[in-house]
Amino acid sequence: MKIVVLLKEVPDTYVDRKLNLETGLADRAASDPVLDEIGERALEVVLKYAESVGEGVEVSALTMSPAGATASIRKGLAMGASSAIHIADDGLSGADLGLTAEVLAAALREIGADLIVAGQQSTDGATGMLPAMLAELLGLPALTSLSEVTIAADSVSGTRVADDALMQVSAPLPALISVTDALPEARFPNFKGIMAAKKKPIEVKTLADLGVDPTDLTPSRTIMTAVSERPPRTAGTKLTDDGTAAEKLAAYLAENRLV
């Protein structure tokens, strides 16, 4: 069985992230790039399954990121993925969701995975749209936002938490799933894993390899037309209770269409 885990490199989640207001792109130099934690959890689910089966499960990592992003890929390999595919091409700078999905789908088509595992939502773009878009492009069933996952030889199932219900969902393979951070934390790569990762293959692919033209706007594409710094928060309205606070509060809520 071939399982592909989608790993995204993101600016360090625990520091302030910055947009370059001239280019509209994330300022990658402003913080250390890290492997998105949700991707690590996705990989952990898959590695646990592969270990439980023993043999016959091939786990690959797939990422689309700038050329230098090999540290994050190596981390995935050090955790236990057996190989990685890195899509890197200058034409992908500032890629929107449409282009990102198109490019990842082209790579996934070539790989022909039985199961594709993504995080529910990245910590930078954070649209949470990519898994569903990929499933649509690949014509695969999508089990999204799973907080528990069970992988079997010919199917995948899991639990999705809704506001007031737990849904049990399943699909035959091939399928795509996305997982939430309710899943267990990922393992730390150990020394043996880090050393082994140095020898594991990373295949680098370009847009030309995948047959995707980033300048072709026929598929649905969106372009960020302007970016500016978010205005600082303004001071809130303070009400002193001189006997009229309730009235003022009700008027404020009505005025701001909050009731």
Nearer to ligand FAD, 118 or 175 (CB): 118
Site size with ligand FAD, rule: CB under 6 A: 33
Nearer to ligand FAD, 127 or 155 (CB): 127
Least separation in angstroms between residue 24's CB and ligand FAD is 6
**DSSP summary character for residue 231:** P
Four-residue CA torsion sign, 22, 34, 214, 135? negative
Mode of pairing for the β-strands spanning 155-161 and 166-172: antiparallel
> Is 127 among the residues that bind ligand FAD (CB under 6 A)?
yes
> Which residues lie closer than 8 Å to 105 by C-beta, 6 or more apart?
134, 137, 138
Instruction: Write each residue from 72 to 111 as x if it is in contact with ligand FAD (CB under 6 A), else as -, in one continuous string.
Output: -----------------------xxx--x-----------
Nearer to ligand FAD, 39 or 174 (CB): 39
Where do the H-state alpha helices sit in the chain? 37-53, 70-79, 97-111, 130-138, 191-197, 207-210, 245-255
> Which residues lie closer than 8 Å to 235 by C-beta, 6 or more apart?
none
Cα 111 to chain centroid distance, Å, stands at 19
Among 76, 131, 189, 214, binds ligand FAD (CB under 6 A): 131
> Is 146 among the residues that bind ligand FAD (CB under 6 A)?
no
> Is 19 among the residues that bind ligand FAD (CB under 6 A)?
yes
Among 3, 34, 57, 64, binds ligand FAD (CB under 6 A): 64
User: How far lies 81's CA from each of 10, 18, 47, 100, in Å?
Assistant: 19, 31, 7, 22
Binding site for ligand FAD (CB under 6 A): 6-8, 19, 24-26, 36, 38-39, 62-65, 95-97, 100, 118-119, 121-122, 124-131, 222-224
